[in-house]
Chains A and B, each alone.
Chain A
Amino acid sequence: MALSKEDFNKLAVLSRLRFSDEEAEKFRNEMDDIIAFADTINNAVSGGTDDIKNTSIDAVGFRELREDEVRESLPNEKILSNVEGHKGFFNVRRCVG
C-alpha cells in the first residue's frame, strides 16, 4: 500500500522531523518498498493467534517489579553536566506568554 504525501507529512510531524521536498519524495518512494516488505507478515506461515499480552512475558521475561522505594539519586550538578552555562536548570527559550 502506497503512502500518501499527506500521511507521510503526518508521520514527520509525529516524529518531530523535517524533510526537504526532494528528501520526502525520495524517502516516500522507499517507504513503499519497506511497507511492502512489512506487509509480508500478513502472509505469514503461522497465524500468531495468542493474546498480545503474552508476548512481553514470553520474550522479555519480566521479573517481579521491585518495591517502589525511594533510592539515592544522582546529584543535580552531575545531571546538568552536559548543559553548557546552566544556572541549575535545563535551559530553553521562553515558551509560554
Chain B
Amino acid sequence: MKELLTTLSTKLKNREISSVELTNEYIKAIEAENEKINAYVHTTFDYAIECAKRADDMLKAGDASPLCGIPMALKDNICSDGHLTTCCSKILDGFRPYYDSTVWTKLKREGAVLLGKNNMDEFAMGSTSESSCYGAPKNPRNTAHVTGGSSGGGAAAVAANMAAYTLGSDTGGSIRQPASYCGVVGLKPTYGAVSRYGLIAYGSSLDQIGPITNSVRDASLVFDAIKGVDINDQTSVDHEYGNITSQLTGDIKGLKIGVAEEYFEGIDKETKESVERALAFYEANGAELVSVKLPILKDSLPVYYIIACAEASSNLGRYDGIRYGYRAGDYTDIDDMIYKTRSEGFGKEVQHRIILGTYVLSSGYYDAYYKKACLLRNDIIRKFDEVFDVCDVLIAPNAPTTAPTLGYSSKSAVEMYMSDICTVPVNIAGLPGISIPCGKDKDGMPIGMQILGRKFAEKTILNTAYFYELNNKNVIGEYEGGVNL
C-alpha cells in the first residue's frame, strides 16, 4: 500500500509540484472517472483552487503541515460553510451549511484542499450506498459490485485515486466496511476522540468521524490532524494521544492478539481463511494469539438497530421543510406541509428506520426494546473490557463476504442488517477499529480485516496494522485510473 500522503507532502515541500497543479490533476481525474464511479455527488472545484493557492503560500512560508496542499473530500454529511451538503437525501436538496464542521476547520487550518462531497447511503443508513438519492457509487475494483456503505463514495474515491484521502462517518461500520470492500484503509476512532460538530447526526451515541486512506500511516496522519476535544461537541474527550504517526514502529513483538471464534461464525470461507493467514503471519513474527470468548456478539446486532433507529427517529425530527432543504410544493396547512415534505423528502429506508425507532421508543414498547437494548449495551461494554484485560487487540473479519454485486439492497431488511454483524459491536462499546486489506477473493475483490482495541488505543491498533502493511505490500494492487502519481 502506498504512503501517498507522505509522498505528496514531500513533493509539495520540495516544490516538485505546486498544490494548484496537484489539485488540477485531481480535478481532471474526477472529471474523467466520476461518471463511471459516482464517488462525488457535489464538487467544489473553484473552492479547491482557492484552498490550493492558500496552501501554496503556506508551503512557500516553510511551516506547512504534512497535509498542506493535499486534495481530499468529505462525506456528504460533513458540513463546510457554503458548500452543498445533502446527506444524499432529497430532503436536504440544495442545503448549504452556514458553518464549518470542526474536522474541516482543523484540516483547512493545515492547508487541506476540498474537492467536494462523497456519495453515501441516504443519512448514512445502509451498507451498500445504494440508498443514495444520487444513485449508487460503483466499486473501482469491479464496477458491477457495490462499494459498501455508508461511506461508499469516500472509499471509492480513495481506491480510484480521485482524492488523496477522505473523511467518512462510522455509526455501525460505515467507514470500515466500505474501506474493506474497496481495498483501502478505514479508521473508526474511539467515541469522543474526534469532534462531531458539523456532522449531520444519525445515531448520536454511535456516530464517529474518521479517515479513509491508501495506507495505515496516511490514516494516522489524518487522525493526528482531526482528533481532539472541542467545546462545540460535548461528547468529545480531552485525551493526551501525542503525535501517533511519529510513534508508529511496526514492532509487534510480544503483542497479544485476541481471537474470538464468534467473529468467524457464518463468515465466507475465503474471507475467513484470509484473516486466519494474517493471524498466522502475526504469530510467526512474534505476536501471541490468545483465544477469547465473546458470546455476546450475537446480541450486538439487534441492540445496535434498536439504539440507532431510536436515535435516528429523534434526530430526523428536525426535517420539517421550514428552516432548510426541501419543502413540498402543494399543501393545505402547516401540518400537511410537514407530512408531505417528510413523506416526499425521505427515501424508503430512512422512513422505515424512523418508524422502527418511533416504535421502540413508544409507550408500551420502550421497556421491552429501547431500555433493554441500553442495558445490554452495558454488558457488551463490560465484556469487551474483560477481553482487553487479556489481550492488546482483537483481530476479526470486517464483513461476512466481499463486496456483493449491485442490487444487494433489494434483499430483506433483516438480511441486510446481518451483513453488519462484524462491525457494529465496537460502535456499541465506543471502541476504535481499523480496517486494512488482507487479501483478495477468487474474483479479485478485496478482503479486509479489522483490528480493534480498547478505548483510546488508536496507537496500538494503528501500529498493529502498520506492521502488517510494512510486510505485505500491494495486497490489492494498483488501480488503473485516476490521478497518476
Binding site for B on A (CB under 8 A): 3, 8, 10-12, 14-19, 27, 30-31, 33-35, 37-42, 44-50, 52, 54-56, 58-63, 65-66, 74, 78-79, 81-83, 90, 92-93, 95
Rounded to whole angstroms, the CA-CA distance of A53 and B229 in the bound complex is: 24
**Cβ contact of A58, chosen from B95, B352, B381, cutoff 8 A:** B381
Residues of chain B within 8 A of A62, CB atoms compared = 234-235
A-B contact pairs, 14 of them (CB 8 A): A15-B342, A30-B413, A34-B305, A40-B302, A44-B379, A48-B375, A48-B379, A50-B378, A52-B371, A59-B378, A61-B191, A63-B234, A81-B96, A93-B334
Rounded to whole angstroms, the CA-CA distance of A82 and B69 in the bound complex is: 31
Cβ A82 vs Cβ B413 within 8 A: no
- CB nearest to B236 among chain A residues: A63
Residues of chain B within 8 A of A17, CB atoms compared = 339, 342-343, 346, 351, 354-355
Cβ B414 vs Cβ A16 within 8 A: no
Cβ A47 vs Cβ B231 within 8 A: no
Mark out the residues of chain B between 447 and 461 whose CB falls within 8 Å of any chain A CB in the assembled complex.
Answer: 455
Q: Which of B3-11, B152-160, B357-365 contacts A (4 or more CB under 8 A)?
A: B357-365
Residues of chain B within 8 A of A54, CB atoms compared = 378
Report the minimum CB–CB distance from A33 to chain B (whole Å). 5
Cβ B234 vs Cβ A46 within 8 A: no
A60-B302 contact given A31-B356, A65-B234, CB 8 Å threshold: no
Q: Contacts A15-B342, A46-B379, A63-B235 known; list 15 others, CB within 8 Å.
A: A15-B354, A16-B320, A17-B346, A38-B306, A44-B299, A45-B295, A52-B375, A58-B381, A59-B428, A59-B430, A60-B235, A61-B192, A74-B98, A92-B322, A93-B337
Residues of chain B within 8 A of A12, CB atoms compared = 355
Report the minimum CB–CB distance from B325 to chain A (whole Å). 7
Rounded to whole angstroms, the CA-CA distance of A10 and B356 in the bound complex is: 12
A45-B299 contact given A34-B413, A62-B234, CB 8 Å threshold: yes
Residues of chain A within 8 A of B441, CB atoms compared = none
Rounded to whole angstroms, the CA-CA distance of A3 and B358 in the bound complex is: 13
User: What string of 1s and 0s marks CB contacts (under 8 Å) between B170-191 and chain A?
Assistant: 0000000000000000000001
Rounded to whole angstroms, the CA-CA distance of A14 and B306 in the bound complex is: 17
Report the minimum CB–CB distance from A90 to chain B (whole Å). 5
- CB nearest to A44 among chain B residues: B299
Residues of chain B within 8 A of A30, CB atoms compared = 352, 412-413
Report the minimum CB–CB distance from A44 to chain B (whole Å). 5
Residues of chain B within 8 A of A52, CB atoms compared = 371, 374-375
Residues of chain B within 8 A of A79, CB atoms compared = 98
**Cβ contact of B372, chosen from A10, A27, A41, cutoff 8 A:** A41
Cβ B334 vs Cβ A55 within 8 A: no
Cβ A48 vs Cβ B376 within 8 A: yes
**Cβ contact of A74, chosen from B99, B333, B417, cutoff 8 A:** B99
Rounded to whole angstroms, the CA-CA distance of A50 and B376 in the bound complex is: 9
Residues of chain A within 8 A of B205, CB atoms compared = 56, 59-60
Most buried by A among B205, B303, B359, B417: B359
User: What string of 1s and 0s marks CB contacts (under 8 Å) between B223-251 and chain A?
Assistant: 00000010100111110000000000000
Report the minimum CB–CB distance from B97 to chain A (whole Å). 9
Cβ B377 vs Cβ A59 within 8 A: yes
Cβ B324 vs Cβ A82 within 8 A: yes
Cβ B414 vs Cβ A34 within 8 A: yes
Most buried by B among A17, A35, A66: A17
Rounded to whole angstroms, the CA-CA distance of A33 and B309 in the bound complex is: 15
**Cβ contact of B322, chosen from A39, A48, A90, cutoff 8 A:** A90
Q: Nearest 5 pairs between A and B by C-beta?
A: A48-B375, A82-B324, A48-B376, A46-B379, A78-B98
B296 within 8 A of A: yes
A45-B296 contact given A82-B94, A82-B323, CB 8 Å threshold: yes
Report the minimum CB–CB distance from A41 to chain B (whole Å). 5
Cβ B298 vs Cβ A45 within 8 A: yes
B78 within 8 A of A: no
Residues of chain B within 8 A of A11, CB atoms compared = 355, 358-359, 362
**Cβ contact of A60, chosen from B99, B192, B295, B380, cutoff 8 A:** B192
- CB nearest to B317 among chain A residues: A16
User: What string of 1s and 0s marks CB contacts (under 8 Å) between B157-172 and chain A?
Assistant: 0000000000000000
User: What string of 1s and 0s marks CB contacts (under 8 Å) between B335-354 and chain A?
Assistant: 00111101100100001101
